[in-house]
Amino acid sequence: MDRRHKVLCIDDDLALRKMMENFLQEDFKVITLGDGKEALDWIQLGNIPDLIVCDVNMEPMDGEEFVKNIQSGELFKYIPVIMLSGDEESKTRIKFYKLGVKNFLTKPFNPEELVVLAKLLTHN
């Protein structure tokens, strides 16, 4: 049985999802999905990740709507979230920190930094 922590990576960019999976799969069980709605449906089916890595800009459900949805449920609001965005503005990061996300990486980011953050947030 795979006892590694589960990391859910949500991004509409397939190449970025593959890159995150490649870097995280040594230490984590990685699930990748293409948008917030798909991810929310997956979680609501009873799949509870130990960490979520989520892009800000996606369709049909963006990162902000996704985070608001998981933060509104008692069962999901304690899952740590790392947001990804090409937007470097401080106001964007602050908005997501106020929503309860644990960290924010600006694209392009160093995948090693993502692995270290994932380990810290899951105590791996």
pLDDT in tens, 73-114: 888 889 999 999 998 889 999 999 999 999 999 999 999 999
Query: In the block, which residue shows the tokens 């993502």?
Result: 114
Confidence of residue 124 (pLDDT cuts 50, 70, 90): low
Mean pLDDT (whole number) for 12-37: 97
Write down the CATH number for the domain with range 6-109.
3.40.50.2300
Where exactly are the structural domains of the chain?
6-109
Rounded to whole angstroms, how far apart are CA atoms 3 and 35? 26
Say what the pTM is: 0.95
Mean pLDDT (whole number) for 56-62: 94
**Partner residues linked to 104 by β-bridges:** 83
> What is the per-residue pLDDT for 75?
81
